[in-house]
Amino acid sequence: MSHMNDADPNQPITVTIDGISVTVPAGTSILEAAKKVGISIPILCHHPDLSVRANCRICIVEAKGQRKFKTACSTEVWQGAEITTNSKTIREARKTVLELILAEHPRECLECIRNGSCELQKLAQDFGIKEVAFTPSRHVGELPIDDIHLAIVRNPNKCVKCGRCVEVCQEVQTVRAINTAHRSHRYEISTAFEKNLEETLCVSCGQCVAVCPVGALYEQDETAKVWAALDNPDLHVVVQTAPAVRVALGEEFGMEPGSIFTGKMVAALRRLGFDKVFDTDFSADVTIMEEGHELLERIQTEGTLPLITSCCPGWIKFAEEMYPELLPHLSTCKSPQQMFGALVKTYYAQKTGISPEKIFVVSIMPCTAKKYECARTEMNDSGYQDVDVVLTTRELAKMLKQANVSVRDLPEETFDDPMGTSTGAAVIFGTSGGVMEAALRTVYEVVTQKPLGNLDFTVVRGLTGIKEAEVELNGQTIKVAIANGLGNARSLLEKIKEGQVDYQFVEIMACPGGCIGGGGQPFGTTMAKKHERMKAMYQVDKKLPIRQSHKNPSVVTLYKEFLEQPLSHKSHELLHTGYASRNIDKEVKQ
Amino acid sequence: MVMTRQLISSNWGNIQPESVEEYAMAGGFAGLKKALSMQPDEIIAEIKTAKLLGRGGAAYPAGAKWEQLRAIPHSPKYIVCNGDEGEPGTFKDKMLLSQDPLRVIEGMTIAAYVFGSQDGYIYIRGEYLGIQKVFQQAIDNAVKEGYLGSRILGTDLTFNIHITSGAGAYICGENSALLNSIEGKPGYPRIKPPHLAEVGLFSMPTLVNNVETFSAVPTIVMEGGEKYLSYGTPDSGGTKLICLSGLSRRNGVYEIPFGVTLRDIIYGSEIGGGIARGKKLKFFHIGGQSGPCGTPDQLDTPYCYKALKSAGLSAGSGAIVVLDESVCIIDYLKGVTEFFIHESCGKCTPCREGNQKVHDILCKLSNGMAVEQDIALLKRLSSMMTNASFCGLGQSATVALDTCLKHFAEEFDAHLQQKCPAGVCFEEQERVAI
């Protein structure tokens, strides 16, 4: 039996790596142990948030007494192991592995979306690759690019078959739109029956994009549409920015993860030429007004409970596909992005006298699914498509670079009125548990008519996959649950379906960690970075003078001037929506 | 010296394969009956004494494997028989499964008794569809006669065997890929550790042995480990089924006691009887496509694990492909590599990409397009594939190439000069010359 199983799991293990002795807890991989002594073994298929696959074989090392190389990512250290990570043999073998991958990879780095952020490009650079000894087995670039999906493009020519995307889609998100197909040199990542992604169950969450090390998966680039709108003098172009963008955009400009970039982002957007720089946080506050009252109404009228949040379009599509029987649980509230679009082209248009057909709404989102959401045919209650174009955090960064904006050097500016005013409650929408906490801050005061002492509902915070809490509201206990990541959502929904739990309010976000970990955020996102972004969100919240949605003065004005009251006729017309089963097993399409 | 010995092949052609009655008449189930009166540890001790090495190809000591599984406290434990005989040139399990299925069943049932297992799986390759039916009939008959199913032979032992059909993938013969396949997952190999003894089928402790290994168990229990060992050599107990194919005069499956020389096998009148059409032996490919190639000067090597290993050869699956001087080494290796290109699962880089590049270079050699650096590149590729591939498939895909580079270096060099000693390559050039 393996030497590795003989170890006492509690006993620290001492190993030698390239002659340096290091003591680590049992169960530590060679990869992690090497980091402790300043050795970063190259990796490609490995991702810190995913399981170990050991497919690419780039992290091979030598171990004394072992005939074959060991993969550092998958091999746990054992007592007395003598590991060599840097020898002629290892360097040569790793280079051969890399050359085999490069032989099949198109060398069009300059034209690639991942130029500068590509993990394969980095390896080639680190290895000092000057030429590749092997000839490609097929004509490079011969595989068709799947680009009809609204949010995500698949370029199989660039795929290095690391399997990260398959794991997130299959195991983490349980959407199961993509998987491995075929064998040997035809082995590839594909969809069932090799259909276009558009025809699969893909929910557009973009988690596959977020983990792809190369340019095989990326968002639909819509920056050209935005440039065209900005260049069109007849259009009044307004932009809204989602809460999670401001704590991640900085990374694209060399800032540390978790840097709060709001003021510079606003200034930069103005430099791009947007006529108004607004904040999705404003409509997040509106969402709380509507959804909070919807929750109260359902509790008071014994309506369908638990009420489940509907801010996240990836989650909405997942529900429509996988859990159509639970659709009555979904809040009828549109997402903040869509509420914003509908309000700009009605309320704001009316207020400013600008014709809605001249207004062009751009969203900056941490998300790829928002691209799909804004194109949903029902999202035109203003009489026009409510949101015209959605850009990801990454696409915004690209535009700023194209416009030569030195974002870090800009003075901080503030959002425009009236749809740029927001509260701390809205900011935290960007992290898992935030919508829940924001709702509780408002619902409590609406129900009790008493001011809430402590605004921090810390029990609902954090990046744990499923969180549960009980909250006292005027003598009544409200049971709530929060799931982030669709695999976790699935577990929670199964319990709801089986009647094993009796929550009143449930928050679901498709991406692990919520929007801070969205599929449109800067490449290289890890759990560690999400933690930093989350901390930044709560910092922003803490510093804001108003931290409850119903106290947002612009929201108060909006209801006074336009909507009258939450759940009013007008609210329903503009801010609420409906859902339909997309489950072909349960509903035969005509 | 005895050239062949029928320990596990004695029933072939002599009994109705699925008949419990005829199997019992021929001495069948005596091993199981005896086993049921023994302590599990006694049985394992006999297998250890017998020096029964795994017959699937890796030659892992069966006794040690059983002992490790026995030491694992968790249950249920599963018994899995690997009958996904996909190694080219190997057709011995086919004989055991079709000619004497009850022996395999008996061996698995003894294992079930040792480990207290209630369920066993036999994974039979999809190409053996007809044999699966014979095997199922044998299972049904054994259940009917009380040798399988609940309360076997009146004891508390309950054991059922389920047949799983492969679908043609060679990789599913790799034990962890095989378990994935039984579970209904794609046949990709698993990361080890954990070993299958600990985390095997359905994540439970599992014994995986080859058809031939299980077939030897009743004999070992019946005759005792000491006796079984004495049939072979001190390090390789008992007998081995070998599959002779290629250009030998008498191709077929033979049961030989370990210790018989390769010369006896290829030339002996009881076995191969020499090279067909009076040609001269050029080389033999031993152990399967993943095994090494040997040359005539190695013919006096005794067929046993230790001697083969020291000669740079290996028993592998038992395949011995005999090739004569009309065969070009480069051309032959192209065929071997094409097999691995076809059968690589595609999961890891070295095997998925490496086999293709090996093939590219071999093609260059046979087209006269290769240069000296290509030989160095072949060696670089092969070394990396051997040491860095995910599983045994990639690790052994270039074993034949390595041995040929060693034994037939001059033939590679000749191809660099556009000369093919066997007259197989450069057809086009010759035609032009004419």
Interface predicted TM-score of the whole assembly (ipTM), two decimals: 0.93
- Residue A314 to residue A321: CA distance in whole angstroms: 11
pLDDT of residue A27 exceeding 70, the answer is: yes
- Residue B88 to residue B91: CA distance in whole angstroms: 8
- Render pLDDT for A234-283 as a digit per residue (tens, 0 to 9): 999 999 999 999 999 999 999 999 999 999 999 999 999 999 999 999 99
Residue with tokens 């087209």: B367
Task: Let me know whether B315 and B424 are in one domain.
Answer: no
Which contiguous run of DSSP H or E holds residue A491? Answer: helix A486-498
* Tokens standing for residue B255: 């049961």
CATH code of B71's domain: 3.40.50.11540
Q: Are A149 and A195 in contact (CB under 8 A)?
A: no
The residues pairing with A365 across neighbouring beta strands, listed in sequence order, are A392
Option in A55, A67, A97 nearest B347 (CB) = A55
Per the residue annotation, which of A45, A59, A311, A374 is the catalytic one? Answer: A311
Asked, for residue B204, whether it belongs to a domain, the answer is: yes
Asked, for residue B3, whether it belongs to a domain, the answer is: no
Query: Any idea which of A149-163, A461-475, A518-532 has the lowest mean pLDDT?
Result: A461-475
Which residue, of B178, B204, B230, is where some domain finishes?
B230
Task: Let me know whether B346 and B304 are in one domain.
Answer: no
CATH code of B336's domain: 1.20.1440.230
- pLDDT for residue A138: 77
Establish if B176 touches chain A: CB-CB under 8 angstroms: no
When pLDDT is cut at 50, 70 and 90, the band that residue A215 belongs to is very high
- Residue A176 to residue A171: CA distance in whole angstroms: 8
Option in A69, A93, A183 nearest B346 (CB) = A183
Per the residue annotation, which of A222, A290, A294, A320 is the catalytic one? Answer: A294
Are B346 and A185 a contacting pair at CB < 8 A? yes
Q: Please, what sign has the CA dihedral across residues A239, A245, A246, A251?
A: negative
Q: Are B32 and B109 in contact (CB under 8 A)?
A: yes
Instruction: State yes or no: is A373 an active-site residue.
Output: yes
Per the residue annotation, which of A29, A259, A331, A432 is the catalytic one? Answer: A331
Task: Let me know whether B320 and B333 are in one domain.
Answer: no
Q: Is the peptide bond before A306 cis (omega within 30 degrees of 0)?
A: yes
pLDDT of residue A586 exceeding 60, the answer is: no
Asked, for residue B132, whether it belongs to a domain, the answer is: yes
Total domains in chain B come to 3
Instruction: State yes or no: is A311 an active-site residue.
Output: yes
Which residue, of B292, B324, B356, is where some domain finishes?
B324
Option in B68, B341, B388 nearest A69 (CB) = B388
Instruction: State yes or no: is A515 an active-site residue.
Output: yes
Which contiguous run of DSSP H or E holds residue A481? Answer: strand A476-484
* Tokens standing for residue B103: 């022996």
Q: How wide is the angle at C-alpha B201 spanned by C-alphas B196 and B206, nearest 5°?
A: 50
Task: Let me know whether B274 and B355 are in one domain.
Answer: no
Task: Let me know whether B347 and B402 are in one domain.
Answer: yes
Asked, for residue B368, whether it belongs to a domain, the answer is: yes
Task: Let me know whether B156 and B257 are in one domain.
Answer: no
- Residue A101 to residue A120: CA distance in whole angstroms: 9
Are A93 and B191 a contacting pair at CB < 8 A? no
pLDDT of residue A7 exceeding 60, the answer is: no
- pLDDT for residue B322: 98
DSSP one-letter string for B184-204: TS--PPPPSSSPTTTS-GGGS
Which residue, of B269, B301, B324, is where some domain finishes?
B324
User: A44 in helix, strand or coil?
Assistant: coil
Are A68 and B386 a contacting pair at CB < 8 A? yes
User: A469 in helix, strand or coil?
Assistant: strand
pLDDT of residue A590 exceeding 50, the answer is: no
* Tokens standing for residue A414: 């503030």
Q: Which residue does chain A place closest to B390, by CA atoms?
A: A55
Asked, for residue B12, whether it belongs to a domain, the answer is: no
A→B contacts (Cβ < 8 Å), by residue, are: 1-2, 4-5, 52-58, 60, 67-69, 74, 76, 92-93, 96-97, 100-101, 103-104, 133-135, 137, 161, 163, 180, 182-187
Backbone phi, psi, residue A464, to 5°: -60, 140
- pLDDT for residue B427: 64
DSSP one-letter string for A421-434: ---HHHHGGGSTTH
Q: Chain A contacts of B381, Cβ < 8 Å?
A: 96
Are B386 and A185 a contacting pair at CB < 8 A? no
- Render pLDDT for A287-306 as a digit per residue (tens, 0 to 9): 999 999 999 999 999 999 99
Asked, for residue B306, whether it belongs to a domain, the answer is: yes
When pLDDT is cut at 50, 70 and 90, the band that residue A473 belongs to is confident
- Residue B81 to residue B135: CA distance in whole angstroms: 13
Task: Let me know whether B135 and B226 are in one domain.
Answer: yes
What are the pLDDT tens digits along chain B (434 aa)? 789 999 999 999 999 999 999 999 999 999 999 999 999 999 999 999 999 999 999 999 999 999 999 999 999 999 999 999 999 999 999 999 999 999 999 999 999 999 999 999 999 999 999 999 999 999 999 999 999 999 999 999 999 999 999 999 999 999 999 999 999 999 999 998 899 999 999 999 999 999 999 999 999 999 999 999 999 999 999 999 999 999 999 999 999 999 999 999 999 999 999 999 999 999 999 999 999 999 999 999 999 999 999 999 999 999 999 999 999 999 999 999 999 999 999 999 999 999 999 999 999 999 999 999 999 999 999 999 999 999 999 999 999 999 999 999 999 999 999 999 999 998 655 544 43
Task: Let me know whether B69 and B117 are in one domain.
Answer: yes
Question: Furthest-apart CA pair in chain A: how many Å?
Answer: 80
What average pLDDT does range A515-531 have in this prediction? 97
When pLDDT is cut at 50, 70 and 90, the band that residue A59 belongs to is very high
- Render pLDDT for A68-103 as a digit per residue (tens, 0 to 9): 999 999 999 999 999 999 999 999 999 999 999 999
Residue to mutate among A78, A87, A184, A188, with most B CBs inside 10 A, is A184
DSSP one-letter string for B297-332: GGTTSBSSHHHHHHTT---TTSEEEEEETTS-HHHH
Residue B152's domain comprises 20-230
Asked, for residue B67, whether it belongs to a domain, the answer is: yes
Closest Cα of chain A to B335: distance in Å?
16
When pLDDT is cut at 50, 70 and 90, the band that residue A588 belongs to is very low
Are B195 and A1 a contacting pair at CB < 8 A? yes
CATH code of B301's domain: 3.10.20.600
Closest CA to B238 of B24, B40, B14, B49: B49
Per the residue annotation, which of A345, A370, A467, A529 is the catalytic one? Answer: A370
- Residue B235 to residue B309: CA distance in whole angstroms: 12
- Residue B377 to residue A312: CA distance in whole angstroms: 52
Task: Let me know whether B38 and B119 are in one domain.
Answer: yes
- pLDDT for residue B428: 55
Instruction: State yes or no: is A111 an active-site residue.
Output: no
Q: If contacts are CB pairs under 8 Å, which of residues 55-84 in chain B contact chain A?
A: 68
Task: Let me know whether B320 and B334 are in one domain.
Answer: no
Are A183 and B345 a contacting pair at CB < 8 A? yes
Are A185 and B344 a contacting pair at CB < 8 A? yes
Task: Let me know whether B89 and B214 are in one domain.
Answer: yes
- Residue B95 to residue B86: CA distance in whole angstroms: 14
Are A184 and B357 a contacting pair at CB < 8 A? no
Are A185 and B198 a contacting pair at CB < 8 A? no
Task: Let me know whether B285 and B357 are in one domain.
Answer: no
- pLDDT for residue B414: 97
Asked, for residue B11, whether it belongs to a domain, the answer is: no
Option in A68, A69, A92 nearest B380 (CB) = A92
